[in-house]
Amino acid sequence: MSAPLTPVVSVIMACFNSELYVAAALDSVRAQTLSAIEIIVVDDASSDRTVEIVMDLAALDPRITVLRLPANVGPAVARNKGIQAARGRWVAIVDSDDLIAQCRLQKLVAAAEADGVDIACDNLVLFRDDARALGRALVGKDWAEPRGIDLVTFIRSNHANTGQSALGYLQPIIRTEFIRRSGLAYNEDLVLNEDYDLLLRMLAAGAHMRVYPWPTYYYRKRDTSLSRRYRRTDLQAMIAANAAFLRCQAAQSSAVARALAERLETIVDEVAFIDFKAALSTRDVRSAAAKLWARPQLVPLLLGKVVGYLDRRTRDLRSRSGSAPRFTFDLAASAQTATPQPGRNGPGTSGEA
């Protein structure tokens, strides 16, 4: 297959030590029914066989371009490099350990262009490394129809421990013209929630966003995922970004400011929870109790994490015993047959113990 002169979609795939998954991820992109695409793989200084695997596939498919970064700088920088090189009308972000249904890009582009939106997202289905089913999609049954998303709705959906679908975890396609016109890019200071942060600023800049209920993006839930282990410094970077955005928006909309302030509190809670766990790990019960006393909202947060942990353990035990169905991929199907159920807080985020 030859590379299109003018691609409809530029697929950006940032990679770092993805030798176990990148071939499958790229194969799912290469198999798209929308063939007028370019695939820009940005290797973030991998030390394994990732580049070798990608180069072998690029030799078979001229639509694949490989950009190699000289040092490991993180996914935000890698994605920005890919977006800068994009030539398509749309930019699609696909992670190097995930999979997409064969019809995904064709359906999303057709819907987005018909509806005149700048950002289009499909539903996201979670699966384990060994294809064990997690039993839910990110967006639940109450999202049976496409829905437009405004700034306040987007912010509130991403509050931790609310039981809402965290829309910041959805992988969008974004109109390239809007990216160029707005001058917006991923915040390269963020390691966590960089996707949420970009969509947040795009919505504030006037982007029109729509979520479609089709579960055609498959998110690999890895036990080693960074999102399972928040670091204090990463959360502090999130607090700084959220606080800076709040200062910019405070005079624009009181509803947006309230939603941002509420989200900021949930991130501060996560930092306090890390400190609480650190005290427990050193058996400093007095310090741990003092932290709970000083911030009582940690109690429901702690309970939520315990419930989430028990829920995951139950699913794991069912899977090992053979009583849980295995996840069956039909990448050529128009929709996933798994029944979407609400995810607590998104893939591996603050519902984790």
Q: What CATH number does the domain containing 33 carry? A: 3.90.550.10
Spatial neighbors of 61 by CB under 8 A, at least 6 apart, are 1, 30, 39
Q: Please check whether residue 342 lies inside any domain of the structure.
A: no
The helix/strand/coil state of 144 is coil
Is 212 in the same domain as 105? yes
Is 266 in the same domain as 121? no
Of 184, 50, 31, which is closest to residue 119 (Cα–Cα)? 184
pLDDT at 233: 78
Is 243 in the same domain as 112? no
Is 212 in the same domain as 239? no
pLDDT band at 333 (very low <50, low <70, confident <90, very high): low
pLDDT at 254: 76
Q: Tell me the helices (H) and strands (E) count for the chain, helix number first.
A: 11, 10
- 87-91, 123-127, 279-283: least confident range: 279-283
Is 207 in the same domain as 244? no
Q: Please check whether residue 288 lies inside any domain of the structure.
A: yes
**Of the residues 223, 246, 281, which one is the last residue of a structural domain?**
223
DSSP tag of 191: S
Is 80 in the same domain as 14? yes
DSSP tag of 16: S
pLDDT at 29: 98
pLDDT of residue 16 exceeding 60, the answer is yes
**Of the residues 196, 223, 250, which one is the last residue of a structural domain?**
223
Domains in the chain, number: 2
Per residue in 266-277, pLDDT (tens digit) is 777 777 777 777
Q: Which structural domain, as residue segments, surrounds residue 37?
A: 9-223
pLDDT at 180: 98
Q: Please check whether residue 197 lies inside any domain of the structure.
A: yes
Q: Determine the average pLDDT of the residues in 74-84.
A: 97
Q: Determine the average pLDDT of the residues in 232-257.
A: 74
Query: Residues of the chain with pLDDT > 90: what percent?
Result: 47
pLDDT of residue 85 exceeding 70, the answer is yes
Tokens, residue 345: 């807080």
**Residue 327 or residue 187, greater confidence:** 187
Is 91 in the same domain as 236? no
Is 184 in the same domain as 296? no
Question: What does the alpha-carbon distance between residue 96 and residue 41 come to, in Å, rounded to a whole number?
Answer: 9
Q: What share of the chain is helix, strand, coil (3-state, %, to 5)?
A: 45, 20, 40
Question: What does the alpha-carbon distance between residue 90 and residue 120 come to, in Å, rounded to a whole number?
Answer: 10
HSE (side-chain half, CA atoms, 13 Å) at 194: 18
What Cα–Cα distance (Å) separates residue 247 from each residue in 120, 202, 203, 257?
Answer: 28, 16, 16, 8
Q: Please check whether residue 153 lies inside any domain of the structure.
A: yes
Query: Residues of the chain with pLDDT > 70: what percent?
Result: 74
Per residue in 169-218, pLDDT (tens digit) is 899 999 999 999 999 999 998 887 899 999 999 999 999 999 999 999 99
Is 238 in the same domain as 128? no
Of 218, 237, 233, which is closest to residue 169 (Cα–Cα)? 218
pLDDT of residue 351 exceeding 50, the answer is no
Beta pairing, strands 90-93 & 9-15: parallel
Give, to the nearest 10 degrees, the angle between helix 298-321 and helix 254-281.
70
Per residue in 92-142, pLDDT (tens digit) is 999 999 999 999 999 999 999 999 999 999 998 888 776 555 546 777 666
Question: What does the alpha-carbon distance between residue 88 and residue 94 come to, in Å, rounded to a whole number?
Answer: 15
What is the CA 201 to chain-centroid distance, rounded? 16
**Residue 325 or residue 267, greater confidence:** 267
Instruction: Quote the pTM value.
Output: 0.79
Is 219 in the same domain as 244? no
Is 290 in the same domain as 218? no
Average pLDDT in the chain: 81
